[in-house]
């Protein structure tokens, strides 16, 4: 029976179902409701874990790292400035190959200060060596967190589960929370083979010289690429257990004969799908939700785009001075196809600007442009731009 839950509350309950042993957290909007809900579960005796209220995000990530290295199932959550503040630790966690799960309640970055949603934070740490999974809905967020704990411990890689701040975290909706037995059957008890243990002392985090550093990076890179299989298997097994299939690395909807594709990450996918339904007069479109951004799903993406003529990538972040982030990688991947679609890149919904149904026809217009759209912010308000830039 579905329960009416706020996204954050649902994520907190999903995390609790995974029986974390150590949770460390520092509050930042829009992540706060997640960690508050977990604190309450602990206070009420519904979750038996060490809840460490640290003094900063740097320490939140470090405490989770220490806990995971000592063999505990560990969890933390953050967003925005907190993600940047802990970024030093994020690279270290993955480089030391310590598995844990982090929720990113996606939010824009300062300055200027914005508490609202985009994906600048998780995109800024895309090279941190973590698995990154983006959720299109709160139901997917519940299911993805449960899968994330299994993927982390199978791969000894940290997993970042990205959910759009406010759009998902603060939305109340009917959601299916799995039974504890279902989760227990899916997620084996936590084990970390290299754990810190006086009975079998290991040294973790040595200084590595030029004679081996490249090999460490090579291993790490290939571990991430190989994690695609773990993501697919976790998705398939969870689909069998729950009846919900989120596509593994990516998923597509729309008519099979579509020649135009729109690719995005996160909650905007639902909006685009609704829009496509409301606009049957427009050309058929394949809407592609990129679920795994790291590892980047080269083959799956090539397969799903092979028969397209046009692909519009919707960015929820910007790389100033270059523009596109996701599209740059999509273009590189599709360039290997014998007949690659044209790839257009636009950003939308930066700093919480509303993404509505109206975006959809605009994206289709971009797809039908004579010129390839290299990159632009598609929902600019010309009134707010200096005159020389508003042309």
Partner 1 sequence: MTAVPIPLSDLRRRQPRFTGISPGHRACQGCGELLAARLVTEAAGPDVVVANATGCLEVTTTNWPDSAWRVPWIHSLFENTAAVASGIEAALKAQSRSSKVLAFAGDGGTFDIGFQALSGMIERGHNVLYVCYDNEAYMNTGVQRSGSTPVGAATTTSPAGKERLGKRHLKKDILSIIAAHYMPYAATATVAYPADLRHKVRRAIEVEGPTFLLVHSPCPQGWGHDGSRTVEVARLGVQSGLVPLIELERGAVTGVMPIREPRPVADYLKAQARFRHLFADSAEAARELQHLQALAEHNIERYGLSAPGPEAHDSEGADTVRRGGNQWA
Residues of this chain that interact with partner 1 (CB under 8 A) are 21-22, 24, 49-50, 52-56, 58-60, 62-72, 74, 88-89, 92, 96, 196-198, 200-209, 212
CB of 48 to partner 1, least distance (A): 8
Would you say 44 or 257 has its CB closer to partner 1? 44
Would you say 18 or 340 has its CB closer to partner 1? 18
- What is the rounded CA–CA span in Å between residue 138 and residue 264? 17
- What is the rounded CA–CA span in Å between residue 324 and residue 317? 8
CB of 188 to partner 1, least distance (A): 16
- What is the rounded CA–CA span in Å between residue 148 and residue 227? 11
CB of 56 to partner 1, least distance (A): 6
CB of 201 to partner 1, least distance (A): 4
Q: What are phi and psi of 164, to 5 degrees?
A: -65, 125
Asked whether the beta carbons of 122 and 83 are under 8 A apart, the reply is yes
Would you say 206 or 383 has its CB closer to partner 1? 206
CB of 209 to partner 1, least distance (A): 7
Would you say 2 or 205 has its CB closer to partner 1? 205
CB of 200 to partner 1, least distance (A): 8
Asked whether the beta carbons of 7 and 141 are under 8 A apart, the reply is yes
Asked whether the beta carbons of 18 and 234 are under 8 A apart, the reply is no
Would you say 62 or 169 has its CB closer to partner 1? 62
Residue corresponding to tokens 């000592």: 70
What are the residues whose beta carbons fall under 8 Å from the beta carbon of 94, sequence distance 6 or more? 128, 129, 130, 157, 158, 220
- What is the rounded CA–CA span in Å between residue 274 and residue 215? 47
- What is the rounded CA–CA span in Å between residue 211 and residue 150? 33
CB atoms within 10 A of CB 193: 7
Three-state DSSP state, 381: coil
Would you say 4 or 204 has its CB closer to partner 1? 204
Would you say 4 or 208 has its CB closer to partner 1? 208
CB of 220 to partner 1, least distance (A): 15
Q: Tell how strand 285-290 and strand 250-253 pair up.
A: antiparallel
């Amino acid at each position: 029976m579905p329960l009416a839950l706020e996204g954050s509350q649902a994520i907190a309950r999903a995390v609790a179902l995974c029986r974390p042993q150590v949770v460390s957290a520092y509050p930042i909007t829009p992540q706060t409701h997640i960690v508050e809900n977990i604190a309450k579960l602990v206070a009420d005796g519904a979750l038996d874990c060490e809840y460490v209220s640290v003094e900063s995000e740097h320490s939140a990530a470090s405490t989770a790292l220490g806990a995971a290295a000592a063999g505990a199932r560990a969890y933390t959550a953050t967003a925005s400035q907190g993600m940047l503040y802990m970024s030093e630790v994020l690279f270290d966690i993955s480089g030391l190959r310590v598995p844990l799960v982090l929720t990113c309640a996606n939010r824009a970055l300062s300055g200027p200060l914005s508490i609202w949603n985009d994906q600048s934070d998780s995109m800024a740490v895309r090279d941190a060596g973590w698995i990154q999974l983006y959720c299109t809905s709160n139901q997917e967020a519940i299911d993805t967190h449960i899968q994330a704990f299994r993927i982390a411990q199978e791969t000894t890689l940290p997993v970042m589960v990205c959910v759009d701040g406010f759009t998902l975290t603060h939305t109340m909706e009917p959601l299916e929370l799995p039974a504890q037995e279902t989760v227990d059957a899916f997620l084996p008890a936590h084990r970390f083979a290299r754990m810190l243990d006086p009975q079998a002392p290991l040294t973790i985090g040595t200084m590595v010289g030029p004679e081996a550093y490249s090999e460490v990076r090579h291993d790490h890179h290939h571990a991430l690429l190989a994690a695609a299989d773990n993501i697919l298997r976790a998705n398939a097994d969870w689909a069998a257990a729950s009846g919900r299939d989120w596509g593994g690395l990516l998923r597509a909807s729309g008519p099979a004969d579509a020649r135009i594709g729109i690719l995005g990450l996160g909650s905007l996918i639902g909006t685009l799908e609704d829009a496509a339904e409301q606009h049957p007069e427009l050309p058929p479109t394949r809407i592609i939700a990129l679920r795994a951004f790291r590892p980047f799903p080269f083959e799956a993406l090539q397969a799903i785009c092979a028969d397209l003529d046009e692909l519009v990538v919707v960015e929820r972040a910007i790389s100033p001075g270059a523009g596109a982030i996701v599209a740059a990688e999509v273009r590189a991947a599709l360039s290997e196809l014998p007949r690659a679609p044209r790839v257009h890149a636009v950003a939308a919904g930066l700093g919480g600007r509303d993404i509505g149904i109206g975006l959809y026809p605009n994206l289709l217009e971009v797809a039908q442009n004579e010129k390839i759209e290299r990159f632009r912010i598609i929902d600019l308000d010309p009134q707010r731009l200096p005159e020389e830039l508003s042309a």
